[in-house]
Structures are given as C-alpha cells and as structure tokens.
Structure 1
Amino acid sequence: MKLNIQNKFTSELPADPIQTNDPRQVHQACFSFVEPKKTEKPFLIHASKEVALEIGLSEQDLLSTDFLNVFSGNSIYPETKPFAMCYAGHQFGNWAGQLGDGRAINLTEVTHDGKTYTLQLKGAGPTPYSRTADGLAVLRSSIREYLCAEAMFYLGVPTTRSLSLMLSGDQVLRDVLYNGNPAYEKGAIVSRVAPSFIRFGSFEIFAAREDLVNLKLLADFTIKNHFSNVKSEGVEKYLSFFEEVTQTTLKMIVEWQRVGFVHGVMNTDNMSIHGLTIDYGPYGWLEDYNTGWTPNTTDNQHKRYRFGNQPEIALWNLYQLANALYPLIEDAKPLEAILEAYSSNYEKQYLNMMQDKLGIQNKSNDDLFLVNRLTELLEKVETDMTIFFRNLGNITKEDAVVVAFGKIKEAFYNEKELNEVLLKEWYDWFEIYNFRINEQTLSDLERKQKMNGINPKYVLRNYISQLCIDDAEKGDYSLLYELIEMLKKPYDEQPNFQKWFAKRPDWARNKVGSSMLSCSS
C-alpha cells in the first residue's frame, strides 16, 4: 500500500505545542498532534474501491493488513503525524467557543492525479477537543455516515466521501435516547475523505480570540491550497474567497432541497469551507413532504434546522463566517453585498431546480406560482416526496387531469384524506401543469428521461438504514452490501431493488432510528 503523502496543513500552520492528549483549551494553533487509540480486534466491513482509486490505492490494497491497521488507527503510516483540528462554532444559534475534532483524527494529506485529499478517521479515540467524551463511535451511527456520504455523492450532492467502515472490536457505552439508560454497543470507525476538513468554525475561533496573525495564516493557506482560482491579492483576495464559499454553500443547499435531505445539525462547525455536506449525524430524508420536519430530537422543540429553514440557516452561518473574516477586510459593505445577493441567487437557483424537477424546458418566472402551489398541496395531505416527483415523469401531454392525477396518487400515505375540495385543488394544479408541458418541444419520453435524471428513484430513507443497522448488529452485512450497490445508481430503475421504492411503513413512523435520531453516536 503506497500513498503519495503531503503534510501541508501540519507543516505550514501552527501546531499545539502541548503533546499530551487531555481535554483543554488550545490557543494559537490550528491543530494538535494526536494518535488514534489502538483497537482490540479491527474487522473491515466494507471499503469503497471507487474512493480508493481516487486517492491512489488499488482494490487489492483494500484487502491488505496494512490497510486494516492504518485505517483502524492501529498503526501510523510512515512519515505522517495524525492530528485533530482546532475550531469553534455556533451551535443551535449560540456561541459555543472552542469545539474541535472531538471524535475525528486526520491521518494525513495525500495527492493523486493532481488532486489533494485529507484522510480522516471518525471514532478513533479521544483528542484534546473531546471534552468529557471518549472520542469513539458506534456501529449504528458509523453505518449511517458511511452509507449516506456515498449515497449523496451518487445523487450528485457535494459531499465528503467514505473510504472504509470497520468494527473496532471494542464495546462503547452510549445512551441512545438520553434517558439515563446507557448500554454497550459495537464500536466502529469510518474513514472519511475530503479536500480538507476546514470549517467555518476554523476561522471563527481565531476571530473570537482576536488572534489575527493565525486568522490570516489560515485564510492564506486555505486560499493558496484549495482556492487556486482566486488570483487577487490583499482585501480582494479574501472577498473573492468568501464569495466563492457563499456560492458553493448555496449550491449545496439547493441540492439538499432537490433530493429532500435534511442535515439536522447545521452548526457553523459542521459547515465545510468547500461547500460539501459534512458530519452526517442525525440527518434524515423527507418521507412526506414537510417543510417543518427535522430529524434531530435535540432540535424538535424549536426546529431551527427543519427542511424549509435550511436555506436561511446557511445564510446565517455565512454571516458568522463573514464576521470572522471581517478583520482581514475591515469593510462591511462588500461582505454585506455578497450576503445580500445570496437570497436572490437562491430564489433563482431554487426555481430553476424545481422547474427541472417538473420537466419544464422553456422556463418562465411565472412558473413560481406553479411551484409554490405544488409545495402547498404536497403539505396538505401526507405525500411521499420521492415517489411523487419520480412518478410525475410518467405523465404524458395527452393525459386528462384525472389520468395524470392517478399516476401520482401512489405517493399519498392515506388517499382517503383527499376530500372533494383537495381533489379539485389537485385537478386545478394538473390543468396548469398539463398546459405547461404541452408548451414544451420535448417529447414525453425525452421529458421523462430528463426528469428521471434529477428526481431520484432511491434515497437512503431512515427506515432502510435502520433495517441495515439491525442486521449488522447481528453480524449480517448482506443488506449493507445490497444498499451500497443500489445507492450507486439512484436514478436508474433497477428492477431488482424495486421493493425499496416504497413509502415509509407504518412501523417506522415512530421507531427509534427510523424517524428521528439523537446526536448520540
């Protein structure tokens, strides 16, 4: 196993001078050197050959003892020094101060085919940022992270990647429901891959501590190594950097809304500077289209991170990043201009995305009424988002309203709730929709193909993940392997997996892990 090692982050940025691995406040440093905890008996459950090839490993490497030892944390790859990153953040809208990698350890940076990647272990033991926690992770949360990152990638959503999923062989104590009933669970480790794991909070901590020297060092490092298209200097350089982060973050949010993904914990320390989905904790997929839904039990009261609020939360988080970068710019107006453009740009990109989901080719701003009326109707009666949009592609230009409606009614959880008033509202909407698709030059087949390329047939519904977890806890990984293959082609029909194109079953409505989740992992 041979990797092309780079250690730019640790060689160019300030390290924590204290070498002991104990919880503490770390000042004037971007990271602390820390070694993973040795595991009892690591076992490789699955590794992604696609991600391995991305970073310069072969499929054969994945079966080696070296791979098992390095990516379980039991051995350190030559000429590398693992480290945990120091950052701060706003959690649920409140300043939390220093946070840092409490459960993640970066192994090293590598380059392959002109691209740079950071390799990270999640669940590999405590760091100086673990506070009172053990730095470990359990099998259930590790499966959810491993599967979801890859599912998002194949859906076309910007995301970190998953390289490997391993059992540690250790038992980990967790209180799943935070109700005072902890129990031991199987420990696990996920290897994550990203260009870097620099977050909004990486800049916030230096700004909050008025450490402008290291704030500038980190910003310059990030721009030089990860934003090479930024060619300007001085204040303009930092403004260009911020504008690009704003644009990539906006794009990520539009993609979340397109596929019905709810992150659940959009704290600023969980926001990647690259506009990638990062830190898969209590996330969820919309079953019924409900803009007020959050998958996070901690967020259940105020629903700050609900589906419909994600665009606004992203903007709020960008404001915090702007505040952190302000000392390098010392002029609020250009930052405010970038932030003010976010809302109008989001509205344009959201409408464009929804028009694509509806199969509308000759686009018009008048379609905003069609889109808004649809989302209103989708919430009036419990309607499965994925099934609705997928089946919408089956409608033809010649379909009468009643026929068109019949092609999507499978998406309703309880068709009996559709009274005469609601039926008329749906028929009225389909009349407008029929008019719009009849204005298109695309044939029915061409439109369906385009719609099927943006409306996935298969998403990682929580109940499916939970079935996989239940089997894995018993040592049966066959469903895990099946889901990995299915999620690689979420837009294809895949008749062998047709059973997963189904509404959430009633038993999953309130089952732990199948509806909402806690942050316990």
Structure 2
Amino acid sequence: MMKPLVFDNRFIRELPGDRITDNYTRQVSDCLWSAVQPTPVKQPSLLAYSAEVASLLGLSDEDMHDPDLVQTLGGNGALPGMFTYATRYGGHQFGNWAGQLGDGRAIYLGELVHQQRRFELQLKGAGETPYSRRADGRAVLRSSLREFLCSEAMHHLGIPTTRALSLVTTGEPVVRDMFYDGNPEFEPGAIVCRVAPSFIRFGHFELLASRNESALLKRFIGFTIDRDFAEWWPGTGLLLDVDNPGQGMIEAWFTEICARTAIMVAHWMRVGFVHGVMNTDNMSILGLTIDYGPYGWIDNFDPSWTPNTTDAQGRRYCYGRQPDIARWNLERLAEAFATLLPESNGLSQGLSHFDTVYFDALTSALAGKFGLDSWQAGDGEAINDIFELMQRAEVDQTLFFTHLRQLDISNPQLSVLQQAFYTEQGLQQFGDDIQAWLQRYSLRVQQSTLSAEQRQQRMSASNPVYVLRNYLAQEAIDLAAQGDNSRLLTLLQVLRQPYTEQAGMQQFAQKRPDWARNKAGCSMLSCSS
C-alpha cells in the first residue's frame, strides 16, 4: 500500500479562485484558478513512467503500479490531499493578443512536497475545464507520448524543462482532425502527468494586466517571487512585500526571468531543438521548456525550418528565430509589468540583460560544440561559414558534430563527415568547400590550449549522440497504438544518456531516413493533439 503523499496547495490557498463552481466554458475574472475535476475514463492503464521523476516525488516503482495511483493518473478520482483545478491566463499567439486562454485540458492535482521541494502535478488530457475553448479537454496518444518522451529527453540533455511522471492510456477513443483537412478520425486517448516546480507562464501576468486587475497582478507577482524564487530573492538584498512588491524587486525579478529565458533558448540552439509554438502562454516564468506540441530537432541544418505545419508559411517560430521570439515575448511581459511601473527603466535594462546573457551562453555553447578552449575574435565568422555550408550541402546537424570530434586535427579529412550528408549531390557539390573549412578549423584548434583528449571530452559533453528525432517518436507511437510499448521504453532508456554511445543502440543515432522525409509525424506536425 502506498504511503500518504504530502500536499501543500499554496496556489489555491493564497490566491483567489473562481466564484463559479460549475464546469462550463466561460470568461473568468478577478481570480487565478477555477476548481474542476478530471473527467473519468473507462480503463486507465500505465503505459510508461519515469523512475527518476517518481523518485523526486517520493514514489517507488511499486507505488507507480498501485491501482489507486494509476486511477488517479488517469483522471479517475484524487488521492488524499490533492485539490484539482485549472488556472487562468492569456497570451499572444503567433504575434497576436488572444485574450483569455487558460488550462483548456490541463488539470492540476495540487502541490506535492517531498524532501523540502515543491512540485506541481498536472494531468494533460484529463477533460474539459472552464478554459477549454471549443475542445473536449482530451489528448491523443501520439501527442501525449511525444510530450512524455521529450520532457525526459530534454532533462537528460541538461536543458531546463518541465518533467513527466507518467503516460497513461485511457481506454477511450478521441476524435481528432490531425491535418485540419476536414477528415477527423478516432485515435487512442492518453494522459500525461506533468511535473514542475511551477507551471506559471508569461500569460498569467499578461491577462491580469490586460484586464486592469492591478491589485491582483501585484499580489500574484509577490506570491510567485516568494514561492517560486525563494532561493533567489533573498540574495537580491531587497525586501519583499508579498502583497505589494516594490519597483526594485519587480525590476530585479524581471531581469532574472530574462536571464533564465536566455539560457534556456541558448540550450535549444545548442542541440538543434525547435519548440514550434513559442506563444507567450507557452513561456515559463522559471525559464523551463514547457508545452511540447509540434516540436522537433533539426535534421539537415536549416535555420528556417519549423516543425509546425500551422507556421509553415510565416515561419515565425523556426529554429533561427527562436532567440528573437524569446526577446519579443519578454517585451510583452515587460509591458504587463509596466502597467504597475509606468516610469521604470529597469525593465529595459532587463531586456538588455537578456541580450548579454544569451550572447555569452551561446558563444560558450558553440565553443563547446566545436571543441574550442575559448571564444576568440574570428570564431563567429568561421562558425557562420560552416553553418552556411551545412545548409547548402544538406548536412545533418547532430551527426556533423558527433563526427567532427573524431577529426584528426593533424590530417583533417572530409571522409570523417561523410555519413552526415543527406545526398551524394551535396557531398560532391560542396565537399571541397567543407574540406577547406576543415583545414581552417584544424589550424584554429591547434592554437587551443586544450589537448586532443580534452577537446574530444568537451565536444562529447556539448554534442548529443541521441536526440528525439520526429521519426523515432513516430515509430514508438505507431507501435504503442498497437499495444506495443517496447520502442517507447527503449527510447526512454536510450535518451537517459544522450551524450554516451550505447552498445546496440546505433539505430537511434542515425540521420533521418529517406522514407521519413515527408511522412506524417516524421518531419512537420500539426498542433492537433
């Protein structure tokens, strides 16, 4: 039998909730959450779980198979101490203000406390809420499996992220129009239990500011700093009035948010991750990667690539624009805070701090990827040159770097990189230019203070061997839909050690196969889930 879990639900205890308790779609005002219960499902079944996240929460492997917990993770009831609710927020979507959004299919289970650490638990796909916006509150297996796997993969890559405890199938079909082409189909339903210290987003603050709920905005800022930045704010030397935080505290806090966001995006760029939907309601106040929808990893290097079919024309959220969009989103958050601080210069300084932190984080990451001891004048030009060649020659980003570390600096040969080319044409047309660049690169490395072994170690720590390419996730989805979770569990295991070559796992370190270039789910994806 499971030991009792400890919940301390500060969010619903200290912040105002919706006065209406009926569950129907509506505009909500003067509060931050609405009480709502998950919609029960027929037959919840545990498909996979993260042992590491379970341990963080004080749950054993035996606990994860406890029937009461499995039922709870499937949305059927709640354990003692839990309180189920959805939160209210707004956001800018694809550059336009969308008004109230909120948790349309994510339902909180409360705030679990274990070993003096606080974790919010959230079921995604557990049914309708007052914020569901013409949807059924459910999620399908394909999107749920992708979120479960990617949450854990990103953590093991060393990237700030929300986590995933479990993936539960519901035993019920869900109707989705995957391609938005008027041909909806039944798909297996599933629920992910997401875990994070906080799921608060930029959009929570934006909505309060847009509705002129200034007193609540101040109170919410104070609450968030006190609860979610408890290890940070005492070091500022500033006093925190939780109900009425001062201008200096808000400005310092915004600067910290900018720094965390910059570091997160620099990590995305380092490994070739593309979020796909960087709306302000998908931006974490803690600088965590949040809301894994139509994400993807760069296969053949292309800064203009987006995994999101909805973004195929504008490419607002393509790989190369992610730093700019992150800053744009921070500007929107600054505008929300400026409603309380109309004469503040500190918010502008926070945005400048984003620029500085991002540049430092990115150049450090690039130095690591290329095995350089430091960033020097001229490195930027050389790196831009090879990225341009990689794009023109259609070279796989992940394989380029895992093979580059094997280069003999005293005798650099293009053959080391041959497996990274997607086409023979690219190799033939641009091979000489890349060979010339390798000569130039080798001379730069020879000036380094790093030994050959140190260079390889640095590159190995910066360049993953295994990333969750879309076609790998799709293979796991196809099998799981047939009741076979073997590929899912194998990927979960492989992605726990992404920087280490693992015996017998070479198939997961290959470039995208030709059959996956245009196959649904293997390159671009829709927001349908």
TM bucket, shorter chain: over 0.9
In the TM superposition, residue 211 of structure 1 has moved relative to its aligned partner by 0.4
Determine helix, strand or coil for the equivalent of 1:5.
coil
In the TM superposition, residue 343 of structure 1 has moved relative to its aligned partner by 2.3
2:242 alignment partner in structure 1: none
Report the more deviating stretch, 366-375 or 240-249: 366-375
Q: Does the alignment pair 1:116 with 2:121?
A: no
In the TM superposition, residue 408 of structure 1 has moved relative to its aligned partner by 1.1
1:202 alignment partner in structure 2: 204
Determine helix, strand or coil for the equivalent of 1:18.
coil
Q: Does the alignment pair 1:256 with 2:265?
A: no
1:86 alignment partner in structure 2: 88
1:407 alignment partner AA:
V
2:60 alignment partner in structure 1: 58
1:450 alignment partner AA:
R
1:95 alignment partner in structure 2: 97
For residues 488 and 34 of structure 2, the distance between their equivalents in structure 1, rounded to whole angstroms, comes to 35
1:441 alignment partner AA:
T
For residues 225 and 149 of structure 2, the distance between their equivalents in structure 1, rounded to whole angstroms, comes to 31
1:11 alignment partner in structure 2: 13
Q: Is the 8 A contact 2:263 2:357 kept in 1?
A: no
1:445 pairs, out of 443, 447, 453, with 453
In the TM superposition, residue 216 of structure 1 has moved relative to its aligned partner by 0.7
RMSD: 1.1
Q: Is the 8 A contact 1:466 1:514 kept in 2?
A: yes
For residues 508 and 9 of structure 2, the distance between their equivalents in structure 1, rounded to whole angstroms, comes to 43
For residues 219 and 126 of structure 1, the distance between their equivalents in structure 2, rounded to whole angstroms, comes to 28
1:447 alignment partner AA:
R
For residues 117 and 341 of structure 2, the distance between their equivalents in structure 1, rounded to whole angstroms, comes to 30
2:88 alignment partner AA:
C
1:413 alignment partner in structure 2: 422
Q: Is the 8 A contact 1:146 1:165 kept in 2?
A: yes
In the TM superposition, residue 334 of structure 1 has moved relative to its aligned partner by 1.5
For residues 342 and 199 of structure 1, the distance between their equivalents in structure 2, rounded to whole angstroms, comes to 18
Q: Is the 8 A contact 1:387 1:411 kept in 2?
A: yes
Q: Is the 8 A contact 1:248 1:274 kept in 2?
A: yes
Q: Is the 8 A contact 2:334 2:347 kept in 1?
A: yes
In the TM superposition, residue 419 of structure 1 has moved relative to its aligned partner by 4.3
Q: Is the 8 A contact 2:178 2:184 kept in 1?
A: yes
Determine helix, strand or coil for the equivalent of 1:453.
helix
Map 1:108-507; keep pairs closer than 5 Å: 108-228=110-230, 229-231=232-234, 232-233=238-239, 234-399=246-411, 401=412, 403=413, 405-419=414-428, 422-507=430-515
Query: TM-score, with normalisation over the residues of structure 2?
Result: 0.96
For residues 383 and 351 of structure 1, the distance between their equivalents in structure 2, rounded to whole angstroms, comes to 22
Q: Which runs of 5+ in 1 are unaligned?
A: none
In the TM superposition, residue 58 of structure 1 has moved relative to its aligned partner by 1.7
In the TM superposition, residue 364 of structure 1 has moved relative to its aligned partner by 1.2
Report the more deviating stretch, 51-60 or 86-95: 51-60
Report the more deviating stretch, 242-251 or 320-329: 320-329
Query: TM-score, with normalisation over the residues of structure 1?
Result: 0.97
In the TM superposition, residue 330 of structure 1 has moved relative to its aligned partner by 2.5
Q: Which runs of 5+ in 2 are unaligned?
A: 240-245
For residues 20 and 221 of structure 1, the distance between their equivalents in structure 2, rounded to whole angstroms, comes to 27
In the TM superposition, residue 428 of structure 1 has moved relative to its aligned partner by 2.5
Q: Is the 8 A contact 1:381 1:417 kept in 2?
A: yes
CA deviation profile, 1:152-199 (whole Å, cap 9, x unmatched): 000011100010000011111000000111111111000000011100
For residues 480 and 427 of structure 1, the distance between their equivalents in structure 2, rounded to whole angstroms, comes to 39
In the TM superposition, residue 227 of structure 1 has moved relative to its aligned partner by 1.0
For residues 464 and 209 of structure 1, the distance between their equivalents in structure 2, rounded to whole angstroms, comes to 44
In the TM superposition, residue 416 of structure 1 has moved relative to its aligned partner by 2.5
For residues 397 and 506 of structure 1, the distance between their equivalents in structure 2, rounded to whole angstroms, comes to 32
CA deviation profile, 1:307-348 (whole Å, cap 9, x unmatched): 000000000000011011112323242211221232243223
For residues 245 and 72 of structure 1, the distance between their equivalents in structure 2, rounded to whole angstroms, comes to 34
In the TM superposition, residue 121 of structure 1 has moved relative to its aligned partner by 0.1
Determine helix, strand or coil for the equivalent of 1:290.
coil
For residues 157 and 456 of structure 1, the distance between their equivalents in structure 2, rounded to whole angstroms, comes to 12
Structure 1 vs Structure 2: percent identity of aligned residues?
48
1:77 pairs, out of 68, 76, 79, with 79
For residues 457 and 489 of structure 2, the distance between their equivalents in structure 1, rounded to whole angstroms, comes to 28
Q: Is the 8 A contact 1:238 1:328 kept in 2?
A: no
Report the more deviating stretch, 339-348 or 352-361: 339-348
Q: Is the 8 A contact 1:396 1:444 kept in 2?
A: no
Report the more deviating stretch, 286-295 or 498-507: 498-507
For residues 64 and 348 of structure 1, the distance between their equivalents in structure 2, rounded to whole angstroms, comes to 47
2:15 alignment partner AA:
L
Q: How many pairs were matched up?
A: 517
In the TM superposition, residue 443 of structure 1 has moved relative to its aligned partner by 2.5
For residues 225 and 9 of structure 2, the distance between their equivalents in structure 1, rounded to whole angstroms, comes to 16
CA deviation profile, 1:324-376 (whole Å, cap 9, x unmatched): 11123232422112212322432232122111100001431321112111211
